[in-house]
Amino acid sequence: MSKKGNRKKQAKFLRAFRKVHRVTGATLFIFFFVVSISGLLLGWKKNSNDYLLSKTYEGTSTDLKNWLSIDHLESNATAYFLEHISDEITPTIERIDIRKEKGTVKFIFKNYYGIQIDGATGKLLHVERRRSDFIEGVHDGSALDVYFNTSGNPVKLIYTTVMGLALLLFTITGFWLWLGPKRMRRRT
């Protein structure tokens, strides 16, 4: 094949990559915007002066022998939820985060609230709105699974698959859009 024919083939290839890059970017613009802003916020969550993620408060003892049972602490967390957050919402615990080194147990509820309790006394240390958990749900698509009450996180799986493949496609096409013209200039 002649240099001119090879150059035309490369130019056609680059135009196709440019079109894929442009169409994908235009189609997924809002999703990339959401992922970038939410990712930025998640990166700063521990440096947000307790707005996105509250600090972990300290309990009275780090020795687990002195702690109340998880069952007892869960009962206290549920009572604190009903008293301080809402008595109209069912307090469904999503996870329990034990911070032995701080003497604290965090009860994280499905509606993006958290209760921090002293592991030894069962007393309330802090009630928090877990904005970072909501932002994480927006970032990975799981907030829609919560909203639609789906099981198995299908929205999250589809969303992360599409966004991951789009980022991979952008990386490949962007690399070739950068490298292709350099190769074409070198061959002339």
Question: Residue 173: pLDDT band by 50, 70, 90 thresholds?
Answer: confident
Predicted local confidence at residue 92, as pLDDT: 94
Describe the strand order of the beta sheet including 124-129 as a list of residue ranges: 93-99, 104-109, 113-118, 124-129
What are the phi and psi torsion angles at 101 (to 5°)?
-65, -15
Given pLDDT bands bounded at 50, 70 and 90, which one contains residue 163?
Answer: very high
Let me know how many helices (H) and strands (E) the chain has, helices first.
Answer: 6, 4
Question: Residue 32: which pLDDT band, with cuts at 50, 70 and 90?
Answer: very high
- pLDDT tens, residue by residue, 79-112: 999 999 999 999 999 999 999 999 999 999 988 9
Residue 3 has pLDDT above 70, yes or no: no
DSSP state of 46: G
Tell me phi and psi for residue 117, to 5 degrees.
Answer: -125, 145
Mean pLDDT confidence for 148-153: 92
**What's the pLDDT score for residue 182?**
77
Higher pLDDT among residues 47 and 7, named by residue: 47
* 58 burial via Cβ count (<10 Å: 0-12, 13-18, 19+): middle
The H or E element that residue 94 is part of is strand 93-99
- Answering whether pTM is above 0.85, one says no
Contact 147, 54 (CB under 8 A): no
What is the per-residue pLDDT for 181? Answer: 79
pLDDT at 179: 81
Between helix 131-140 and helix 154-187 the angle, nearest 10°, is 60
**Domains of the chain with CATH codes:** 1-51+130-188 (no CATH), 54-129 (3.10.450)
pLDDT for 8 equals: 82
Q: Structure tokens of 132?
A: 């970072």
In the DSSP assignment, the letter for residue 88 is: S
